[in-house]
Amino acid sequence: MNVVVCIKQVPGSTEVRIDPKTHSLIRESVEAIINPFDENAIEAGLQLRDQQGGKVTVMTMGPPQAESALRQAIAMGADEAVLITDPAFRLSDTLATSYTLARAIHKVGDFDLVICGKQAIDGDTAQVGPGVAEQLGIPQATFVIGLEVNGRKILAKRMLEDSFEVVELRMPALITVVKQMNEPRTAPMKGVLRARRAAITAWNKDDLGANPSRIGFDGSPTWVIKSFHPERRKRGEMLEGTTEEVAAVLAEKIKSLNLG
């Protein structure tokens, strides 16, 4: 069973702080990591390969330095890695990103399952997984917490707001996974050594045969026109007194919110 895992390199912290005096951003040098949900996606791919045979190809679209994320994935056990990088991909929104990844998966060719994390912790959109599935014309199951393979079919258990749903899909298919799906393995020393030497395939827009009007800025219908910081919450009122007193004040405060 051949699996393609799509990953994204993200800043290690989503905390973006602002200087209260100058109102400018304090940019702390945060380490770039593999998006946490994507680590679960890699782990899910590796487990399937270990049970079923086949190989795991991990891919990312990003600047050249995203290569380090791919090396981490190889260290965990991925067989092959593809870096999709080209200045022409810059400013891609989720639609252009989905198109580009789908082109790359198409080029990999022989795949049974595509696995993505449910969303990236920087953009928080959760749109690329389904977008890729649509561009590939294959069925999808999002927010997957459990997976079973049965011949050419997979049974995916999806985590919804207040219930779970088990869906049956025919492969090739795409799933996006939640954190509770598994516990990503730590890279073994052997893997770390292998990752250092591993060759990483790099594909640009020409390698993908990408339509120039569907990639990067030109392929992105949505434009970010402004970024700003939300008003920071202020430290509120500290209630003091005996437990009884505090509980009574709090109960009144809650009542006055008119939540009914």
Shortest reach from residue 27's CB to another protein, in Å? 6
- Near another protein in 150-169, by CB under 8 A: 155, 158-169
- Near another protein in 103-122, by CB under 8 A: 121-122
**φ and ψ at 248, to 5 degrees?**
-65, -45
Residue from the set 127, 149, 192, 201 that interacts with another protein by CB under 8 A? 127
Number of residues in contact with another protein under rule CB under 8 A: 88
Residue from the set 90, 106, 152, 196 that interacts with another protein by CB under 8 A? 90
- Near another protein in 48-77, by CB under 8 A: 63
Residue 91 interacts with another protein (CB under 8 A): yes or no: yes
**CB of 13 or CB of 186, closer to another protein:** 13
How far does Cα 108 stand from its chain's mean position?
20
**Tokens standing for 254?**
């809650």
Range in contact with another protein (rule: CB under 8 A) among 49-57, 107-115, 124-132, 195-203: 124-132
Residue from the set 7, 76, 95, 187 that interacts with another protein by CB under 8 A? 95
One DSSP character per residue, 127-140 reads -HHHHHHHHHT--E
35: nearest Cα among 70, 64, 2, 4: 70
One DSSP character per residue, 7-22 reads E-EEES----EE-TTT
Place of tokens 């199951």: 141
Residue 32 interacts with another protein (CB under 8 A): yes or no: no
**CB of 77 or CB of 129, closer to another protein:** 129
**Tokens standing for 211?**
């339509």
Residue 254 interacts with another protein (CB under 8 A): yes or no: yes
Shortest reach from residue 97's CB to another protein, in Å? 11
Residue from the set 60, 72, 140, 182 that interacts with another protein by CB under 8 A? 140
Please tell me the distance from the alpha carbon of residue 8 to that of residue 150, in angstroms, as a whole number: 29
What 3-state class would DSSP assign to 64? helix
Report yes or no: 36 and 69 within 8 Å, Cβ to Cβ.
no
Report yes or no: 173 and 113 within 8 Å, Cβ to Cβ.
yes
Range in contact with another protein (rule: CB under 8 A) among 42-50, 72-80, 123-131, 203-211: 123-131
